[in-house]
């Protein structure tokens, strides 16, 4: 396992070093030239394109930091405001990018990435390569090298004969051993070196936080308004209509009870059936607003009860040592309900697995199905609605659904249990 991790770190570090030097040098040069051409007018058109490429390059490094070293670097860019078209809009876009501090932090990162960043990324691969190179050198390759150059330097070891060749081999093996233990740490250090420049500044982080809270507030208000409209519609079209019909039937029964008792009995039976159906619809409506089992027994039992009502085979593994706040439980419950409904209707799945636990101050729920895949947040209003509802609690929704499946929907809500 250690050898595999070291080799993987070396390969990734080599890729980062080579691609980093080439990409950073090219993008830095294009950025400087493009900004210089602003005075000639050409740079107004080219600078947004070049800076967009710089941001994409930095975004790729953020993704690699998270996937390769577990270093999560938030994106510092604010959502671009709507701008006018034509040359005026292009000038506004160029000006906004140049005024953005994140742009200049990205340019500083390019300088760092092509120098010390590339060296740090190259170290894991270099230490592993020196081990076999030293052994090959000691096996006799040193002889033609020494004849050609007089003295061949293996790092700090001057190779002039077989004895010094063995010393070079020992040095290489020592470096390889060090690389086995330090390769992943050096790769992580490369990303940690980039983090201060690629993450948002304190001011930008606060501004992004305000933007997120504003958007979440609007989404929560819209979601509440939509829920109220749905409740009003369900009451008007369902229980209310049945109660009105039942009232009319009772009036007819009152008129027929003496003239036609048999007809009155039939109408009375129909009214009794209408009242039962109205009661059932009201219970379903209340369950849709806030299920009684959720209020009485908590999220774990509510999810288990929800799984029993699904037409799919649902395996539930919930370990919660306490209960979250009622709004959090409600948001999590309806998120799971929506995901299960999507899996039942659209995925073609036969089996679903639900795993829920609380760790590191957050409630985490993973819903996995063995369906055909292809789901996305942007692909339907259901998952988008879940994301908006969770956003009101600083929650996040992640969807992994490659073509052919499986689909995993992960829900995470920061909260404390009581």
Kindly state whether residue 204 falls inside one of the protein's structural domains. no
The pair of structure tokens assigned to 105 is 């932090």
List the CATH number of the domain containing 308: 3.30.565.10
Q: What is the per-residue pLDDT for 57? A: 92
Residues 180 and 162 in one domain: yes
Kindly state whether residue 203 falls inside one of the protein's structural domains. no
Kindly state whether residue 378 falls inside one of the protein's structural domains. yes
Q: What is the per-residue pLDDT for 4? A: 79
Q: pTM, whole model, 2 decimals?
A: 0.56
Q: Using the 3D structure, point to which of 198, 222, 242 is the last residue of a domain.
A: 198
Kindly state whether residue 159 falls inside one of the protein's structural domains. yes
Residues 185 and 40 in one domain: yes
Residues 280 and 349 in one domain: no
409 membership: H or E segment, kind and range: strand 407-414
Kindly state whether residue 94 falls inside one of the protein's structural domains. yes
Laid out side by side, the sheet with 313-319 consists of 313-319, 351-359, 362-369, 407-414, 396-400
- Confidence category of residue 27, pLDDT binned at 50, 70, 90: very high
Residues 390 and 336 in one domain: yes
Residues 70 and 192 in one domain: yes
Q: Which residues of 100-135 are buried (b: 16+ CB within 10 A; e: fewer)?
A: bebbebbbebbebbbeebbebbbbbbbbbbbbebbb
Residues 314 and 281 in one domain: no
Kindly state whether residue 205 falls inside one of the protein's structural domains. no
Total domains in the chain come to 3
DSSP 39: G
Q: Using the 3D structure, point to which of 271, 289, 307 is the last residue of a domain.
A: 289
Pick from 90-99, 140-149, 357-366: least confident: 140-149
Residues 219 and 188 in one domain: no
Instruction: Give tens-digit pLDDT for 105-138.
Output: 999 999 999 989 888 888 888 787 777 777 777 7
Kindly state whether residue 405 falls inside one of the protein's structural domains. yes
- Name the residue range of residue 392's domain: 296-414
Tell me what percent of the residues of the chain surpass a pLDDT of 90.
Answer: 7
pLDDT: is 45 or 141 the higher one?
A: 45
pLDDT: is 179 or 356 the higher one?
A: 356
Q: Using the 3D structure, point to which of 249, 271, 289 is the last residue of a domain.
A: 289
Pick from 109-113, 148-152, 172-176: least confident: 148-152
Rounded distance, CA 418 to CA 411, Å?
Answer: 20
**With left for phi above 0 and alpha for psi between -120 and 50, is residue 57 left, alpha or beta?**
alpha
Residues 282 and 149 in one domain: no
DSSP 157: E
Residues 337 and 393 in one domain: yes
Residues 263 and 243 in one domain: yes
Residues 273 and 315 in one domain: no
Stretch 47-55: mean pLDDT: 91
Q: Which of 306, 316, 332, 319 is nearest to 368 (CA)?
A: 316
């Amino acid at each position: 396992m250690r050898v595999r991790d070291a080799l993987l770190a070396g390969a990734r570090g080599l890729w980062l070093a080579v691609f980093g030097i080439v990409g950073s040098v090219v993008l830095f040069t294009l950025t400087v030239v493009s900004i210089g051409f602003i005075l000639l007018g050409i740079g107004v058109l080219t600078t947004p394109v070049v800076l967009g490429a710089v941001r994409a390059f930095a975004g790729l490094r953020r993704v690699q930091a998270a996937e390769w070293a577990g270093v999560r670097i938030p994106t510092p860019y604010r959502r671009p405001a709507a701008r006018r078209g034509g040359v005026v809009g292009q000038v506004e876009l160029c000006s906004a990018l140049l005024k953005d501090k994140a742009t200049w932090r990205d340019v500083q990162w390019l300088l760092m990435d092509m120098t010390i960043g590339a060296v740090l990324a190259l170290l894991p691969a270099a230490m592993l390569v020196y081990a076999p190179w030293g052994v090959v050198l000691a096996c006799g390759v040193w002889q033609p090298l020494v004849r050609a150059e007089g003295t061949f330097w293996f790092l700090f070891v001057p190779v002039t004969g077989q004895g010094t060749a063995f010393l070079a081999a020992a040095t290489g093996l020592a470096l390889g051993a060090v690389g086995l233990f330090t390769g992943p740490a050096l790769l992580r250090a490369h990303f940690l070196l980039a983090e201060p420049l690629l993450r948002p500044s304190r001011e930008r982080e606060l501004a992004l936080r305000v933007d997120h809270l504003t958007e979440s507030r609007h989404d929560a208000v819209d979601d509440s308004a939509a829920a109220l409209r749905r409740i009003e519609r369900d009451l008007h079209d369902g229980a209310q209509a049945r109660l009105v019909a039942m009232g009319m039937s009772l009036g007819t029964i009152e008129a027929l009870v003496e003239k036609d008792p048999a007809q009155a009995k039939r109408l009375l039976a129909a009214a009794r059936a209408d009242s039962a159906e109205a009661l059932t619809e009201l219970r379903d409506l209340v369950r849709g607003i806030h299920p009684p089992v959720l209020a009485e027994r908590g999220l774990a039992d509510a999810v288990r009860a929800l799984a029993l009502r699904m037409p799919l085979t649902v395996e539930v593994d919930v370990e919660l040592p306490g209960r979250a706040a009622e709004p959090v439980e409600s948001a999590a419950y309806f998120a799971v309900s929506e995901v299960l409904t999507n899996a039942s209707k659209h995925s073609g799945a036969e089996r679903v697995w639900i795993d829920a636990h609380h760790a590191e101050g957050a409630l985490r729920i993973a819903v996995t199905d063995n369906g055909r895949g292809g789901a996305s947040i942007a692909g339907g209003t259901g998952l988008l609605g879940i994301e908006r509802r969770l956003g009101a609690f600083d929650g996040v929704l992640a969807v992994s659904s490659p073509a052919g499946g499986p689909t995993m929907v992960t829900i995470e809500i920061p909260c404390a249990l009581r």
